[in-house]
Amino acid sequence: MVNTISLMSLLSPWVALEDERLKSVQVCELELDSRKVKKGTTFVAVIGHAVDGRSFIAKAIENGANAVIAEACTQHPHASFEFHKEVPVIYIRELNQSLSELAGRLYQCNSQFIAVTGTNGKTTITQLIAQWINLLGQSAAVMGTTGNGFLSDLQPAANTTGSAVDIQKTLSTLSQQGAEYTALEVSSHGLVQGRVKALDFSAGVFTNLSRDHLDYHGTMEEYAQAKLSLFEQHQCRHAIINADDEIGAQWLQGTTEAVAVSLRTPQTHDKALWAEQVVYSDSGIAVSLDGYWGKGELNVPLIGAFNASNVMLALATLLALGFDKEALLFCADKLQPVIGRMELFQTPGKAKLVVDYAHTPDALEKALSALRVHCDGKLWVICGCGGDRDTGKRPMMAAIAEQLADRVIISDDNPRSEDPTLIVKDMLKGMQKPESAIVEHDRFNAVRLAVESAGERDIILLAGKGHEDYQVLRDKTVHYSDRESSMIVLGITE
């Protein structure tokens, strides 16, 4: 089903267009990229971080655009319009901040939306929520790092949180395909840039806050404020907040309406969920829980304390939305680990390999700490840091690896335009004994070296790439997957 709206109606919240020539213009698709414009598409020309879309108006019209909505400026003030080859170009001020509402007026959607924000855990929580809803007989989709769509058919996504237009377009498509709920990973970039500004979230979840994206936000305070905006500046009916996180605990002090979730301590909030006991084993996590919805026993086949937190946050979210507690607990043991998130690969006689997306100091610390509980032998870690990103976390990552693992291999992780040797040099500065680290830039060789050197009781953490199947180098992007490397080296066939 294609949604259609007249151009005049679409823009009515911002401008009143009276010209007779505009009355017949119908909008059925919006596009920010002039290269994707085809006959009948309406091109939206915004000023991006690197490119001014107005420079491509002529190209969009050449490709078949039936109209152009562009950012206003001194030369073309708000509400003015002109015609290029009989195609109308209408100028709107602060168009970037209006994109979410603009797209939402065209792309209608009947689903409920759940937003998950925080440094770590977004992918796992959104997918656990979707899995749980599906297990209970309803239909749920996800949007985020590992792709958009239903869990059985995820389509690749360029960013954790897409453009405001792409988000509304995808949500509408998923709704038409039967999604009753869509759980979205909402990045700090997406919040600051207004990409989800007009969405009405049934629930919003805050996972945790640790060092990341300071190359964009500048300070941890600004980064935290970006996350907080989900609850203060966006429509969000239920707030679910991790009380074990320092920032989350601070936010909870300022509200009585949020749902407080903790693995450690009973909460005094009117609505809260906490763990009275958590038991970790080779088969997973067992939680005895209590709170606003009463007591219960939760058993899930996942690894680590942070996954216990992820599951509790997902459970609290669904409880807040009105799902039955007993039904949720009954099917919890059918929940599955997320691809590339503490994903275990093993074969008899060789060390276990665990692939995880941990690419921040906090995530690496949590992953190694989680595996230490399960490790009877030596704990290995293979990690690196991305190029063209926050350099300050590089020595921190290596320091954590040295502190928590028995053996450290430093390898490449998307060096991009930087010299990989310089990235490794930055990392080694954080180690007390840098000479003890093994440096192997080729990541596949690093995996093979670790398996050949490790004992069968050892565990090797491949940290940083998770679900990714590429390596970004200076001049090209090549195929590479930690998951595939693990299976090849261990001799596992799917």
Q: Output the known binding site for meso-2,6-diaminopimelate.
A: 389, 413-416, 464, 468
Q: Regarding beta strands 343-345 and 42-45, do their DSSP bridges make them parallel or antiparallel, or are they unpaired?
A: unpaired
Q: Which two tokens stand for residue 257?
A: 């309406």
Please give the biggest Cα pair distance in the chain. Answer: 78
What's the sign of the alpha-carbon dihedral 164, 169, 170, 175? positive
**In 136-202, which residue ranges form alpha helices assigned H by DSSP?**
164-176, 188-192
CA–CA separation, 452 and 401 (whole Å): 20
Residue whose entry in the numeric block shows the structure tokens 């001014």: 52
Helix/strand/coil for 183: strand
Q: CB 369: neighbour CB atoms within 10 A?
A: 15
b/e per residue, 70-79, with b = 16+ CB within 10 A?
bbbeeebeee
Helix/strand/coil for 252: helix
What's the sign of the alpha-carbon dihedral 406, 409, 413, 418? positive
Whether 407 and 381 have beta carbons less than 8 Å apart is answered as yes
**In 187-296, which residue ranges form alpha helices assigned H by DSSP?**
188-192, 214-217, 220-232, 246-253
As to burial, measured by CB atoms within 10 angstroms (0-12 exposed, 13-18 middle, 19+ buried), residue 370 is buried
Residues 6+ apart with CB under 8 A from 81: 17, 19, 22, 88, 89, 90, 91
CA–CA separation, 411 and 413 (whole Å): 7
CA–CA separation, 26 and 111 (whole Å): 25
CA–CA separation, 356 and 267 (whole Å): 31
The annotation places the binding site for ATP at: 118-124
Integer angstrom CA distances of residue 105 from 28, 199, 445: 11, 11, 51
The annotation places the binding site at: 32, 34, 118-124, 159-161, 187, 193, 195, 389, 413-416, 464, 468
